[in-house]
Amino acid sequence: MNAQATAIDKKTRLEHHWPEPLTAKQLDAKYPGILDSTVFLSAGANIIMQLSLPAVGHGVAESRVTSGSVLHNPLKRTRTTFTYLAVAMMGTSEEKLAYRKAVNGAHKYVHSTDESPVKYNAFDPELQLWVAACLYWGFVDTYQKVHRPLTRAEQEEFYQLAHPLGTTLQVRQEMWPKDLDAFEEYWQNGLDNLHIDERVHEFLMIIVDLKFLSPITQKLFGKFNRFVTSGFLPPEIREAMNLEWNADKQRKFDKTVRFFGKTMKFLPRPVRQAAYLLPLRDFRKRMASGKPMI
Protein backbone atom coordinates (compact mmCIF):
# COMPACT_ATOMS: atom_id res chain seq x y z
CA MET A 1 0.00 0.00 0.00
CA ASN A 2 2.80 2.43 0.83
CA ALA A 3 4.32 1.94 -2.61
CA GLN A 4 0.94 2.50 -4.23
CA ALA A 5 0.28 5.63 -2.22
CA THR A 6 3.74 6.99 -3.04
CA ALA A 7 3.20 6.41 -6.75
CA ILE A 8 -0.13 8.19 -6.69
CA ASP A 9 1.31 11.02 -4.61
CA LYS A 10 4.18 11.57 -7.08
CA LYS A 11 1.80 11.48 -10.01
CA THR A 12 -0.40 14.18 -8.46
CA ARG A 13 2.21 16.71 -7.35
CA LEU A 14 0.37 19.96 -6.85
CA GLU A 15 1.20 23.60 -6.78
CA HIS A 16 2.74 24.52 -3.45
CA HIS A 17 1.33 28.01 -3.43
CA TRP A 18 -2.30 28.97 -3.43
CA PRO A 19 -3.77 32.45 -3.88
CA GLU A 20 -3.80 34.56 -0.73
CA PRO A 21 -6.87 33.32 1.19
CA LEU A 22 -9.54 35.57 2.59
CA THR A 23 -9.82 35.85 6.34
CA ALA A 24 -12.92 34.81 8.25
CA LYS A 25 -13.84 38.47 8.59
CA GLN A 26 -13.41 39.10 4.86
CA LEU A 27 -15.45 36.04 3.93
CA ASP A 28 -18.24 37.17 6.25
CA ALA A 29 -18.17 40.65 4.72
CA LYS A 30 -18.57 39.23 1.20
CA TYR A 31 -21.03 36.49 2.11
CA PRO A 32 -22.58 37.34 5.50
CA GLY A 33 -23.02 34.10 7.40
CA ILE A 34 -21.08 31.81 5.03
CA LEU A 35 -19.02 30.40 7.92
CA ASP A 36 -21.80 30.40 10.50
CA SER A 37 -22.13 27.36 12.74
CA THR A 38 -25.52 26.67 11.14
CA VAL A 39 -23.41 24.37 8.94
CA PHE A 40 -23.99 21.72 11.64
CA LEU A 41 -27.58 21.50 10.39
CA SER A 42 -26.41 20.11 7.05
CA ALA A 43 -23.39 18.12 8.25
CA GLY A 44 -25.17 14.77 8.13
CA ALA A 45 -26.49 15.43 4.64
CA ASN A 46 -23.01 16.29 3.40
CA ILE A 47 -21.57 13.06 4.78
CA ILE A 48 -24.31 11.13 2.99
CA MET A 49 -23.61 12.92 -0.29
CA GLN A 50 -19.93 12.12 -0.06
CA LEU A 51 -20.50 8.47 0.82
CA SER A 52 -23.11 7.99 -1.90
CA LEU A 53 -20.21 7.48 -4.29
CA PRO A 54 -19.62 3.75 -3.76
CA ALA A 55 -15.83 3.91 -3.49
CA VAL A 56 -16.04 6.68 -0.89
CA GLY A 57 -18.87 4.99 0.98
CA HIS A 58 -17.09 1.67 1.32
CA GLY A 59 -13.82 3.41 2.06
CA VAL A 60 -15.36 5.06 5.11
CA ALA A 61 -17.63 2.20 6.18
CA GLU A 62 -14.76 -0.32 6.03
CA SER A 63 -12.03 2.01 7.32
CA ARG A 64 -9.63 0.45 9.80
CA VAL A 65 -8.65 3.90 11.14
CA THR A 66 -11.14 3.86 14.02
CA SER A 67 -9.46 6.78 15.80
CA GLY A 68 -10.85 9.10 13.14
CA SER A 69 -14.22 7.41 12.64
CA VAL A 70 -17.39 9.38 13.27
CA LEU A 71 -18.89 6.27 14.88
CA HIS A 72 -15.98 5.57 17.24
CA ASN A 73 -14.69 9.08 17.92
CA PRO A 74 -17.26 11.66 16.77
CA LEU A 75 -15.64 14.65 18.52
CA LYS A 76 -12.25 14.01 16.96
CA ARG A 77 -13.85 13.37 13.56
CA THR A 78 -15.72 16.67 13.80
CA ARG A 79 -12.58 18.55 14.83
CA THR A 80 -10.59 17.02 11.97
CA THR A 81 -13.25 17.87 9.40
CA PHE A 82 -13.68 21.47 10.47
CA THR A 83 -9.92 21.91 10.74
CA TYR A 84 -9.60 20.79 7.14
CA LEU A 85 -12.36 23.14 5.99
CA ALA A 86 -10.80 26.06 7.86
CA VAL A 87 -7.26 25.39 6.62
CA ALA A 88 -8.41 24.85 3.03
CA MET A 89 -10.45 28.07 2.97
CA MET A 90 -8.36 30.34 5.21
CA GLY A 91 -4.97 28.73 5.75
CA THR A 92 -1.67 29.83 4.25
CA SER A 93 0.17 27.68 1.70
CA GLU A 94 2.48 26.46 4.46
CA GLU A 95 -0.49 25.46 6.59
CA LYS A 96 -2.20 23.69 3.70
CA LEU A 97 0.93 21.66 3.01
CA ALA A 98 1.32 20.76 6.68
CA TYR A 99 -2.28 19.57 6.95
CA ARG A 100 -2.03 17.68 3.67
CA LYS A 101 0.91 15.75 5.11
CA ALA A 102 -1.05 14.99 8.28
CA VAL A 103 -4.14 13.83 6.38
CA ASN A 104 -2.02 11.72 4.03
CA GLY A 105 -0.59 9.97 7.07
CA ALA A 106 -4.08 8.77 7.98
CA HIS A 107 -5.19 8.12 4.41
CA LYS A 108 -2.40 5.63 3.72
CA TYR A 109 -4.36 3.08 5.73
CA VAL A 110 -7.60 3.62 3.80
CA HIS A 111 -7.65 1.25 0.83
CA SER A 112 -9.71 -1.68 -0.29
CA THR A 113 -8.83 -5.28 0.48
CA ASP A 114 -9.45 -8.50 -1.44
CA GLU A 115 -12.75 -8.82 0.45
CA SER A 116 -13.99 -5.33 -0.45
CA PRO A 117 -16.92 -5.30 -2.92
CA VAL A 118 -15.67 -1.97 -4.32
CA LYS A 119 -12.07 -0.99 -5.03
CA TYR A 120 -10.97 2.28 -3.46
CA ASN A 121 -7.93 4.20 -2.33
CA ALA A 122 -8.06 7.38 -0.23
CA PHE A 123 -5.29 8.89 -2.39
CA ASP A 124 -7.41 8.62 -5.54
CA PRO A 125 -7.83 12.25 -6.75
CA GLU A 126 -11.11 11.43 -8.48
CA LEU A 127 -12.63 10.33 -5.18
CA GLN A 128 -11.21 13.38 -3.45
CA LEU A 129 -12.68 15.58 -6.17
CA TRP A 130 -16.15 14.23 -5.43
CA VAL A 131 -15.72 14.81 -1.69
CA ALA A 132 -14.48 18.38 -2.33
CA ALA A 133 -17.40 19.00 -4.69
CA CYS A 134 -19.80 17.93 -1.93
CA LEU A 135 -18.09 20.29 0.51
CA TYR A 136 -18.38 23.21 -1.91
CA TRP A 137 -21.98 22.36 -2.77
CA GLY A 138 -22.77 22.12 0.94
CA PHE A 139 -21.35 25.57 1.65
CA VAL A 140 -23.47 27.22 -1.03
CA ASP A 141 -26.63 25.15 -0.64
CA THR A 142 -26.70 25.58 3.14
CA TYR A 143 -26.06 29.30 2.84
CA GLN A 144 -28.90 29.80 0.38
CA LYS A 145 -31.37 27.73 2.37
CA VAL A 146 -30.49 29.33 5.71
CA HIS A 147 -29.77 32.93 4.65
CA ARG A 148 -30.54 34.15 1.14
CA PRO A 149 -30.13 33.25 -2.54
CA LEU A 150 -26.75 34.11 -4.04
CA THR A 151 -26.54 35.84 -7.39
CA ARG A 152 -24.87 33.94 -10.21
CA ALA A 153 -21.86 36.26 -9.95
CA GLU A 154 -21.58 35.64 -6.20
CA GLN A 155 -21.76 31.89 -6.73
CA GLU A 156 -19.06 32.05 -9.40
CA GLU A 157 -16.77 34.13 -7.19
CA PHE A 158 -17.16 31.82 -4.22
CA TYR A 159 -16.67 28.80 -6.46
CA GLN A 160 -13.26 30.10 -7.52
CA LEU A 161 -12.35 30.64 -3.87
CA ALA A 162 -13.36 27.08 -3.00
CA HIS A 163 -10.98 25.03 -5.14
CA PRO A 164 -8.55 24.53 -2.20
CA LEU A 165 -11.22 22.25 -0.72
CA GLY A 166 -9.82 19.73 -3.21
CA THR A 167 -6.38 21.01 -4.16
CA THR A 168 -5.24 21.07 -0.54
CA LEU A 169 -5.03 17.30 -0.99
CA GLN A 170 -4.44 15.33 -4.21
CA VAL A 171 -6.86 17.06 -6.59
CA ARG A 172 -4.86 18.82 -9.30
CA GLN A 173 -5.91 22.33 -10.23
CA GLU A 174 -6.78 21.27 -13.78
CA MET A 175 -9.16 18.64 -12.38
CA TRP A 176 -11.29 21.25 -10.63
CA PRO A 177 -14.11 22.19 -13.08
CA LYS A 178 -13.04 25.52 -14.57
CA ASP A 179 -16.23 27.46 -13.87
CA LEU A 180 -19.68 27.14 -12.36
CA ASP A 181 -21.24 25.77 -15.55
CA ALA A 182 -18.59 23.04 -15.70
CA PHE A 183 -19.09 22.27 -12.03
CA GLU A 184 -22.85 21.95 -12.40
CA GLU A 185 -22.36 19.49 -15.26
CA TYR A 186 -19.88 17.49 -13.15
CA TRP A 187 -22.27 17.60 -10.18
CA GLN A 188 -25.28 16.36 -12.10
CA ASN A 189 -23.25 13.58 -13.71
CA GLY A 190 -22.11 12.61 -10.23
CA LEU A 191 -25.67 12.49 -8.89
CA ASP A 192 -26.70 10.36 -11.85
CA ASN A 193 -24.02 7.77 -11.05
CA LEU A 194 -24.38 7.45 -7.30
CA HIS A 195 -25.40 4.21 -5.65
CA ILE A 196 -26.06 3.36 -2.02
CA ASP A 197 -25.92 -0.38 -1.36
CA GLU A 198 -27.17 -2.13 1.76
CA ARG A 199 -23.82 -1.99 3.59
CA VAL A 200 -23.36 1.75 3.09
CA HIS A 201 -27.06 2.48 3.72
CA GLU A 202 -26.86 0.75 7.09
CA PHE A 203 -23.78 2.80 7.98
CA LEU A 204 -25.40 6.07 6.90
CA MET A 205 -28.63 5.46 8.82
CA ILE A 206 -26.56 5.25 12.01
CA ILE A 207 -25.49 8.82 11.25
CA VAL A 208 -28.98 9.97 10.24
CA ASP A 209 -30.51 8.78 13.53
CA LEU A 210 -27.46 9.67 15.68
CA LYS A 211 -27.17 6.05 16.83
CA PHE A 212 -23.44 6.54 17.40
CA LEU A 213 -24.23 8.93 20.26
CA SER A 214 -25.71 8.30 23.72
CA PRO A 215 -29.31 7.05 24.05
CA ILE A 216 -30.31 10.38 25.62
CA THR A 217 -28.84 12.34 22.71
CA GLN A 218 -30.60 10.05 20.25
CA LYS A 219 -33.92 10.59 22.00
CA LEU A 220 -33.52 14.36 22.21
CA PHE A 221 -32.13 15.08 18.75
CA GLY A 222 -32.48 11.94 16.61
CA LYS A 223 -35.79 12.84 14.96
CA PHE A 224 -34.71 16.43 14.39
CA ASN A 225 -31.44 15.32 12.82
CA ARG A 226 -33.26 12.95 10.46
CA PHE A 227 -35.60 15.80 9.51
CA VAL A 228 -32.94 18.43 8.72
CA THR A 229 -30.64 15.86 7.12
CA SER A 230 -33.46 14.80 4.80
CA GLY A 231 -34.19 18.42 3.95
CA PHE A 232 -30.62 19.24 2.98
CA LEU A 233 -30.21 16.20 0.73
CA PRO A 234 -30.67 16.47 -3.05
CA PRO A 235 -33.90 14.67 -3.99
CA GLU A 236 -31.98 11.91 -5.81
CA ILE A 237 -30.00 10.98 -2.71
CA ARG A 238 -32.97 11.38 -0.35
CA GLU A 239 -34.87 8.86 -2.46
CA ALA A 240 -31.91 6.48 -2.54
CA MET A 241 -31.78 6.67 1.27
CA ASN A 242 -35.53 5.87 1.49
CA LEU A 243 -36.16 8.98 3.58
CA GLU A 244 -39.75 10.18 3.44
CA TRP A 245 -40.42 13.72 2.25
CA ASN A 246 -43.42 15.75 1.16
CA ALA A 247 -44.60 19.32 0.62
CA ASP A 248 -45.57 19.80 4.29
CA LYS A 249 -42.15 18.69 5.47
CA GLN A 250 -40.53 20.99 2.93
CA ARG A 251 -42.47 23.98 4.25
CA LYS A 252 -41.58 23.11 7.83
CA PHE A 253 -37.94 22.63 6.86
CA ASP A 254 -37.76 26.00 5.10
CA LYS A 255 -39.27 27.76 8.11
CA THR A 256 -36.98 25.95 10.55
CA VAL A 257 -33.66 26.66 8.84
CA ARG A 258 -34.56 30.30 8.20
CA PHE A 259 -35.32 30.66 11.91
CA PHE A 260 -31.81 29.45 12.72
CA GLY A 261 -30.39 31.85 10.16
CA LYS A 262 -32.23 34.84 11.61
CA THR A 263 -31.29 33.90 15.16
CA MET A 264 -27.61 33.55 14.27
CA LYS A 265 -27.47 37.17 13.09
CA PHE A 266 -27.75 38.40 16.67
CA LEU A 267 -24.48 36.74 17.68
CA PRO A 268 -21.02 38.32 17.32
CA ARG A 269 -19.12 37.12 14.27
CA PRO A 270 -16.46 35.13 16.21
CA VAL A 271 -19.23 33.26 18.00
CA ARG A 272 -21.09 32.56 14.77
CA GLN A 273 -17.89 31.27 13.18
CA ALA A 274 -16.69 29.26 16.17
CA ALA A 275 -17.05 25.95 14.30
CA TYR A 276 -14.19 27.06 12.03
CA LEU A 277 -12.22 29.53 14.13
CA LEU A 278 -11.66 27.27 17.14
CA PRO A 279 -10.32 24.30 15.12
CA LEU A 280 -8.12 26.67 13.08
CA ARG A 281 -6.66 28.19 16.24
CA ASP A 282 -6.09 24.73 17.72
CA PHE A 283 -4.41 23.60 14.49
CA ARG A 284 -2.04 26.56 14.50
CA LYS A 285 -1.08 25.87 18.10
CA ARG A 286 -0.44 22.21 17.28
CA MET A 287 1.59 23.14 14.24
CA ALA A 288 3.72 25.63 16.20
CA SER A 289 4.38 23.17 19.01
CA GLY A 290 4.99 20.14 16.80
CA LYS A 291 2.02 18.21 18.16
CA PRO A 292 0.02 15.80 15.96
CA MET A 293 -2.43 17.72 13.79
CA ILE A 294 -5.11 15.06 13.55
DSSP 87-128: HHHH--HHHHHHHHHHHHHHHTT-B--TT-SS--BTT-HHHH
CA distance 232 to 47: 11
**Cα of 111 vs its chain's centroid, Å:** 20
Q: Mean of the per-residue pLDDT values for the chain?
A: 91
**Cα–Cα distances in angstroms (integers) from residue 115 to residues 16, 61, 62, 112, 118, in the given order:** 37, 13, 10, 8, 9
Average pLDDT, stretch 152-171? 95
> 83 — alpha (psi -120 to 50), left (phi > 0) or beta?
alpha
d(CA 104, CA 127): 14
| pLDDT single digits (tens) 227-276 | 999 999 999 999 999 999 999 999 999 999 999 999 999 999 999 999 99
As a whole number of angstroms, the distance between CA 123 and CA 178 comes to 22
Q: Which residues pair with 111 in a beta bridge?
A: 121
Q: What is the pLDDT of residues 2-51, one digit of tens each?
A: 444 444 444 444 456 788 899 999 999 999 999 999 999 999 999 999 99
Q: What average pLDDT does range 165-172 have in this prediction?
A: 94
* CB of 19 closer than 8 Å to CB of 12: no
State pLDDT tens for residues 179-211: 999 999 999 999 998 999 999 999 999 999 999
Cα distance between residue 223 and residue 47, in whole Å: 17
Q: What is the pTM of this model?
A: 0.91
The CA distances from residue 27 to 67, 109, 258, 283, in Å, are 32, 35, 20, 20
5: phi then psi, degrees, rounded to nearest 5? -65, -40
Query: What is the identity of the amino acid at 145?
Result: K
Query: What is residue 113's predicted lDDT score, i.e. its pLDDT?
Result: 87
